[in-house]
């Protein structure tokens, strides 16, 4: 529980994807993939700077990255990148009011129009495409 | 007399009575002298139509009258009885035990609202956020002037905002919101949906001033379209839709 | 800067980066993956000015997008005037630092200073 006075759920509430459907899962995955990609990006900029040390420095870097662990990590990065991109486009469109339904007089059982099949399909597509890209990447890296 | 006993007999011969009972776990916490939340358990019989509020009131009636709970209309109109029921924000009067599909019902105070005691929470922050977005028609003239007619609206114009006017300020959306879980300064889905309610109202001329109010670092931009607010709204307000439509104005998708 | 301007930049950098990163990744597939990472091939990529220019643009776009995203997450976790100013300027500094560090690599290799 967060600070008692405000009774905030805290980070546990922010990262709990269990109670509210796939959209909440997508929100959590978006955050995790974003942070993961930022960490990879910083590492990538550092890693590629090693080329300034000449061929020796560059090969030293390749000895770390061109390993099984390096390839698995890169495959995860590919998955995160594809998910973050596809879901990001879905979120951008949604946040602009595209595909969230039209206001109408609500009627029981009050199904929310914004939580519609189009956005759910967008999320599932992002997950599936991320998986496909990951396996394709694994195929390319381990196939040689 | 004969009439009464036959009525009584009729009632006894029906199959309405159920032998089902449920375990109700109520969160007990008094911030004045408790350091942490405790749960008290009660076993209560229930019928097909029994709501969570009904069994809480049964506990108050027969077991422990000190349980603090806010309720009023018992028909999902007043928004008083919002609480966490089996992990999800719901209205106690609008949630039947039978629909929870569980032998144990756990009730806790709504998240992201300071606790007064047990299940009763403070609503000051919700009311302050609601007040901040100017929840009234903004225009230079007024209907309360003699010789003026009321401001007319077509049914189509009413359809644009009536859904968001259904808000009963129950606070379930604020409780479900992942941003509200950590951000004390976020205005919240309730206020943002109400901002859209007025912006979408053809009688209102205050769109620019409201957009200015919500265009800040803890305003509309801290909504990330998780949609949990709409998942829990008991009145079909769909705050997520209102917020994204409102954001469309700021992004230039709508004018 | 108004939050709506910051978020428009956030979305704009995202959309622009998608296209350019796709090109960057596809370059690794023009040869076999391991061949494309050999020293001479990487140097050749950097010394091809349009590609180096594209890398520079990707660096700027993703630094802005990434650190603004981090700023948003950190602002939501904790509030307070001092904390918020620290986070905002810290992320800006990190963004500039990363762009400077990455640009150094691109410019030096492009100019043959390896």
> Which residues in chain B are classed under CATH 3.10.20.30?
19-121
Contact in structure between C47 and C112 (CB atoms under 8 Å):
yes
Which 3 state secondary structure label does DSSP give B84? strand
CA distance B206 to B195: 10
Q: What is the pLDDT of residue B18?
A: 58
CB contact (8 A) between residue A141 and residue C105: no
How much is the pLDDT for C28? 77
Nearest C-alpha in B relative to A111? B236
A92-A96-A98-A102 Cα dihedral, nearest 10 degrees: 140
Chain A residues with beta carbon closer than 8 angstroms to that of C73: 31, 34-35
Strands B88-91 and B82-85: antiparallel
Sign of CA dihedral B175, B177, B179, B181: positive
Lowest mean pLDDT among A14-18, A127-131, B195-199: A14-18
Contact B109 A24 (CB under 8 A): no
Average pLDDT over residues C2-25: 94
| C contact chains, 3+ CB pairs < 8 A | A, B
Q: A10: pLDDT confidence band, cut at 50, 70 and 90? A: confident
pLDDT at B3: 35
- Selecting from 3.90.1150.10, 1.10.1060.10, 3.40.50.720, 3.30.1330.10, what CATH number does the domain B124-251 have? 1.10.1060.10
Q: Which residue has the higher pLDDT, B150 or A110?
A: A110
- pTM assigned to the model: 0.89
pLDDT for A3 beyond 60:
no
Taking the alpha carbons of B140, B193, B179, B248 in that order, is the dihedral positive or negative?
negative
- Domain that includes residue C33, residue range: 3-110
Domain A22-100+111-142: give its CATH architecture.
Up-down Bundle (1.20)
The residue among B6 and C24 whose pLDDT is bigger is C24
Q: With CB atoms and an 8 Å threshold, state whether B215 touches C4.
A: yes
Per-10-residue mean pLDDT, chain B, length 255 = 34 53 95 92 93 96 95 96 96 96 95 94 95 92 72 93 96 95 93 96 93 93 95 96 93 79
Range from A40-54, A61-75, B130-144, C52-66 carrying the lowest mean pLDDT: B130-144
What residues does B108 pair with on adjacent strands? B84
Number of H helices, E strands in chain A: 5, 0
A111 interfaces chain C, CB cutoff of 8 Å: no
- B128-184 tens-digit pLDDT: 999 999 999 998 887 777 666 788 899 999 999 999 999 999 999 999 999 999 998
Q: Which helix (H) or strand (E) holds B74?
A: none
Q: Quick one: CA dihedral B141, B146, B152, B158, positive or negative?
A: positive
Name the least confident of A13-17, B125-129, C53-57, C62-66.
Answer: A13-17
- Quote the percentage of chain C above a pLDDT of 90: 75
**In the predicted model, what is the mean pLDDT of residues C43-61?**
93
**How many structural domains compose chain C?**
1
Chain centroid to Cα A55, Å, comes to 34
Do residues B62 and B44 lie in contact, with contact meaning Cβ atoms separated by under 8 Å? Answer: no
Contact C79 B183 (CB under 8 A): yes
**Rg of chain B's alpha carbons, rounded to an integer?**
22
Does A27 lie at the interface with B, CB-CB under 8 angstroms? yes
Residue with tokens 């109109």: B77
Q: What residue of B is the nearest CA neighbor of A101?
A: B241
Measured CA to CA, the distance from residue A6 to residue A9 in angstroms comes to 9
**Percent of chain A predicted with pLDDT > 70:** 97
> Which pairing describes strands B115-117 and B104-108: parallel, antiparallel, or unpaired?
unpaired
* 3-state secondary structure (DSSP) of residue B85: strand
Which pLDDT band holds residue A46 (cuts at 50, 70, 90)?
very high
SS3 B40: strand
Kindly report the CATH number assigned to the domain that includes residue C17.
Answer: 1.20.1300
How far, in Å, CA of C78 to CA of C65, rounded?
Answer: 21
Containing B23, the helix (H) or strand (E) segment is strand B21-28
Interface test with C, best of A2, A36, A37, A48 (most C CBs within 10 A): A48
pLDDT higher than threshold 80 for residue C96: yes
Predicted local confidence at residue B250, as pLDDT? 87
Q: How far apart are CA C85 and CA C25, in angstroms?
A: 36
Token pair in block for residue C37 = 């990472």
Could you give the residue range(s) of every CATH 1.10.1060.10 domain in chain B?
Answer: 124-251
Strands laid side by side in the B21-28 sheet: B38-45, B21-28, B104-108, B82-85, B88-91
Q: What distance in Å separates the CA atoms of residue C4 and residue C108, rounded to the nearest whole number? A: 36
Average pLDDT over residues C38-67: 94
Q: Rounded to an integer, what distance in angstroms lies between the CA atom of residue B39 and that of residue B55?
A: 16
Q: Which of residues B1 and A86 earns the better pLDDT score?
A: A86
Residue-averaged pLDDT of chain B = 89
CATH no., domain B19-121: 3.10.20.30
How confident is the model at residue B151, as a pLDDT? 86
Closest CA to B185 of C107, A40, C75: C75
């Amino acid at each position: 529980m967060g600070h008692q006075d405000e009774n905030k759920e805290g980070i546990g509430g922010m990262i709990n994807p269990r109670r509210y459907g796939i959209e909440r899962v997508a929100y959590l995955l978006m955050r995790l993939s974003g942070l993961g990609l930022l960490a990879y990006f910083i590492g990538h900029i550092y890693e590629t700077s090693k080329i300034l040390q000449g061929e020796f420095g560059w090969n030293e870097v390749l000895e770390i990255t061109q390993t099984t662990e390096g390839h698995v990590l890169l495959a995860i990065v590919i998955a995160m990148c594809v998910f973050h991109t596809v879901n990001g486009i879905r979120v951008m469109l949604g946040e602009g009011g595209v595909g969230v339904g039209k206001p109408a007089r609500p009627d029981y059982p009050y199904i929310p129009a914004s939580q519609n099949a189009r956005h759910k399909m967008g999320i599932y597509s992002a997950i599936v495409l991320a998986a496909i890209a990951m396996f394709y990447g694994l195929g390319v890296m381990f196939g040689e | 007399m004969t009439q009464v006993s036959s009525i009584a007999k009729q009632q006894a011969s029906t199959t309405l009575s159920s032998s089902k009972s449920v375990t109700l776990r109520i969160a007990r916490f008094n911030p004045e002298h408790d350091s942490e939340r405790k749960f008290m358990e009660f076993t209560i019989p229930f019928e097909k139509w029994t709501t969570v509020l009904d069994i809480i009131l049964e506990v108050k009636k027969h077991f422990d009258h000190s349980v603090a709970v806010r309720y009023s209309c018992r028909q999902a109109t007043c928004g008083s009885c919002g609480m966490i029921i089996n992990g999800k924000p719901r209205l106690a009067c609008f949630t039947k035990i039978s629909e929870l599909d569980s032998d144990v019902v756990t009730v806790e105070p709504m998240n992201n609202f300071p606790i007064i005691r047990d299940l009763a929470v403070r609503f000051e922050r919700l009311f302050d956020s609601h007040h901040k977005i100017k929840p009234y028609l903004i225009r230079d003239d007024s209907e309360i002037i003699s010789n003026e007619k009321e401001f007319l609206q077509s049914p189509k114009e009413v359809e644009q905002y009536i859904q968001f006017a259904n808000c009963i300020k129950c606070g379930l959306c604020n409780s479900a919101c992942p941003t509200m879980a950590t951000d004390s300064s976020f205005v919240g889905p309730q206020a943002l949906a109400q901002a859209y309610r007025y912006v979408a109202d053809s009688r209102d001329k205050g769109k620019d001033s409201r957009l200015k109010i919500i265009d800040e670092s803890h305003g509309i931009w801290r909504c990330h379209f998780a949609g949990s607010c709409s998942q829990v709204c008991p009145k079909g307000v769909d705050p997520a839709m209102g917020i994204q439509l409102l954001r469309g104005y700021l992004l230039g998708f709508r004018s | 800067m108004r939050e709506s301007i910051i978020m428009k930049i956030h979305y704009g950098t995202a959309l622009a980066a998608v296209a350019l990163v796709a090109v960057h990744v596809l370059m690794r597939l023009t040869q076999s993956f391991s061949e494309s990472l050999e020293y001479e091939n990487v140097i050749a990529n950097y010394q091809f000015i349009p590609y180096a220019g594209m890398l520079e643009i990707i660096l700027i776009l993703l630094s802005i997008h990434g650190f603004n995203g981090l700023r948003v997450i950190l602002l939501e976790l904790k509030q307070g005037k001092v904390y918020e100013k620290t986070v905002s300027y810290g992320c800006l500094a990190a963004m500039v630092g990363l762009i400077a560090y990455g640009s150094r690599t691109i410019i030096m290799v492009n100019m043959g200073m390896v």
